[in-house]
């Protein structure tokens, strides 16, 4: 079983290494996938589905391991109950044997006393001398000896039984300890496997989101491209920007871009691919920080809530802008937006907690990555890991904790 668990852990580690390369410098890692045409977008969609199938299989294997460990615990619990019953029976037998020893000892003392072996009285001699013949004399002597031998043998048997039951108690106690260790090991394994399953569920949800977003983007491009071979850059021109604006009229950075202590897990050196903007209640309007085209929308993710991705070009360079933890979404995939458009409202607070668990309060997670997430253009790429790895620090925000009151 441990070999199977090790295999699952190794496979899971490989998935994490591929999907979240947070140990790499996010400014150095470059995208390898370049979806320049609608046909290439469709090929990437096929790869995403294959990856989903692989992770579904890993989930099934992990769940099987969990089920096996649960069955092992149940069996060990059942054996523990049997052991405890045997211990109780052994204890009862010891008590009964000790009572029987006391009884036989008293009977022996009475018998020997009667036959003058203890007190020195005349009953034994009188009993012997009253024999009417030599044969009867021998029989009477033999009878007394047999009774005494029987009682002594009985006492030895009872002593042996007590020792046997005491040894059984020690043996059963050791077995119970062994079963408890087995239950503990299985419980630890279950905890670890459930953590893996939880992580796989999150990864799988991200892949589901990518698949849904990719399908929506393909549907959009199918409406504006003349063929699968036409370059996406010819199908639609992403609006250009000379600079950056802020997505909120006011606010303050509550968590910076870069490595930090994760506020949810407490993990040190957790890479944060955005700035968190607080200071606004849920429902506050969110503007497009740049002119661009809506490339993807993820809805009700358990880690990120509702998320919008917009392709933009700033000073001739391609970027994808991420708006996460939003409450209301006012745009659709393919929409062209300007910096004057309200695209969503602030979420991340109690109104979103019914479906997302990665937010501790109302705020906007505002991330910027180079290239076009989900494909498109010479810097196109599709995987989530490449989107995170190509993250850059958003421009134009004051230092941590300082308020601003203008989008410019």
**Is the pLDDT at 230 greater than 50, yes or no?**
yes
Q: Residues 360-400: pLDDT tens digits?
A: 899 999 999 998 887 655 556 666 777 888 899 999 999 99
Residue in 289, 248, 251, 273 with CA at minimum distance from that of residue 389: 273
pLDDT score at 25: 28
**Is the pLDDT at 31 greater than 60, yes or no?**
no
Most confident region among 7-16, 208-217, 310-319 by mean pLDDT: 310-319
pLDDT score at 48: 84
CA dihedral (387, 388, 393, 396) positive or negative:
positive
Taking the model in full, what pTM does it have? Answer: 0.58
Q: Residues 172-215: pLDDT tens digits?
A: 888 888 888 888 888 888 887 877 776 666 555 578 888 888 88
Average pLDDT over residues 239-261: 92
pLDDT score at 372: 84
* More confident site: 354 or 141: 354
Average pLDDT over residues 150-169: 79
* More confident site: 167 or 117: 167
Q: What whole-number distance in Å separates Cα of residue 323 and Cα of residue 285?
A: 12
* More confident site: 150 or 205: 150
176 torsion bin: left (phi>0), alpha (psi -120 to 50), beta (else) = alpha
The mean pLDDT of the chain is: 79
Average pLDDT over residues 275-282: 97
Query: Which tokens sit at 169?
Result: 């108690």
pLDDT score at 363: 96
Q: What whole-number distance in Å separates Cα of residue 397 and Cα of residue 386?
A: 24
Average pLDDT over residues 126-133: 62
Average pLDDT over residues 97-107: 78
**Is the pLDDT at 30 greater than 60, yes or no?**
no
Structural domains of the chain, with CATH: 24-36+231-408 (2.70.70.10), 38-230 (1.10.287.2610)
């Amino acid at each position: 079983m441990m070999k199977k668990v090790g295999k699952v852990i190794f496979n899971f580690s490989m998935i994490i290494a591929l999907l979240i390369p947070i140990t790499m410098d996010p400014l150095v890692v470059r995208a390898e996938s370049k979806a320049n045409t609608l046909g290439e977008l469709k090929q990437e969609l096929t790869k995403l589905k294959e990856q989903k199938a692989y992770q579904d299989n890993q989930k099934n294997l992990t769940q099987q391991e969990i089920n096996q460990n649960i069955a092992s615990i149940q069996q060990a619990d059942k054996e523990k109950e049997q052991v405890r019953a045997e211990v109780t029976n052994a204890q009862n037998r010891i008590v009964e044997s000790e009572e029987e020893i006391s009884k036989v000892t008293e009977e022996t003392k009475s018998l020997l006393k009667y036959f003058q072996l203890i007190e020195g009285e005349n009953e034994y001699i009188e009993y012997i001398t009253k024999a009417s013949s030599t044969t009867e004399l021998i029989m009477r002597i033999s009878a007394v000896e047999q009774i005494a031998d029987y009682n002594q043998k009985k006492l030895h048997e009872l002593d042996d039984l007590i020792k046997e039951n005491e040894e059984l108690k020690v043996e059963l106690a050791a077995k119970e300890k062994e079963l408890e260790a087995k239950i503990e090991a299985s419980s630890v394994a279950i905890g670890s496997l459930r953590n893996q399953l939880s992580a796989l569920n999150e990864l799988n949800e991200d892949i589901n989101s990518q698949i849904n977003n990719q399908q929506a983007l393909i549907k959009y491009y199918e409406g504006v491209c003349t063929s699968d071979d036409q370059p996406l850059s010819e199908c639609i021109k992403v609006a250009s920007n000379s600079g950056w604006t802020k997505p909120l009229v006011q606010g303050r950075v509550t968590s910076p871009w870069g490595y930090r202590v994760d506020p949810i897990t407490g993990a040190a050196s957790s890479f944060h691919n955005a700035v968190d903007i607080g200071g606004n209640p849920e429902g506050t309007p969110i503007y497009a920080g740049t002119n661009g085209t809506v490339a993807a929308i993820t809805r009700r993710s358990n880690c990120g809530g509702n998320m919008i991705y917009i392709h933009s070009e700033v000073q001739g360079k391609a970027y994808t802008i991420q708006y996460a933890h939003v409450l209301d979404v006012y745009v659709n995939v393919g929409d062209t937006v300007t910096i004057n458009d309200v695209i969503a409202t602030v979420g991340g607070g109690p109104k979103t907690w019914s479906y997302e668990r990665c937010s501790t309060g109302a705020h906007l997670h505002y991330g910027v990555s180079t290239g076009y997430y989900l494909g498109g253009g010479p810097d196109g790429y599709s995987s989530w890991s490449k989107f995170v790895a190509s993250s850059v620090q958003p421009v134009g925000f004051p230092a941590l904790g300082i308020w601003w009151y203008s989008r410019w």
